[in-house]
Amino acid sequence: MKLKLVSFETAKLLKEVGFDLSTGLAQYNEDGELESSCFFEGAKDYLAPTLELVKMWFREVHEIYLEVRRDVCIKPNIRIYHINVRKFLINHDSTILYNKRNNGTYEEALEQGIIEAIKLIK
């Protein structure tokens, strides 16, 4: 198992909305190439966090919950994932802000949910 980093396109969007949790492990340069180095304040480069770290950031900072689950009603050799983006309300109910299907990998579905969550806070 290996944790997947966000794509360069998603890293640019995250920078626009103020994502600032550096892992200190990797970042993208202006050309979209992944570099192994620490992030310095004011750098022009883009952080390259894991998808799971971004999911946690949305939960902790914006109270937006990203849920990706596999559709169990489909044939075993076909993978379809449901993506839900939720916001919990004061009365402990939640409202679904985005609900779609993705027939790629779990990671692709999670990144799709992250992009939709970014749109909500822009």
pLDDT in tens, 44-58: 689 999 999 999 999
**Tokens 């980093």 — which residue?**
5
Query: Whole-model pTM?
Result: 0.85
Measured between alpha carbons, how far is residue 116 from residues 58, 68, 109, 121 in Å? 11, 13, 11, 9
Q: Tens digit of pLDDT for each residue in 60-98?
A: 999 999 999 988 766 667 788 989 999 877 666 667 778
pLDDT value of position 91? 67
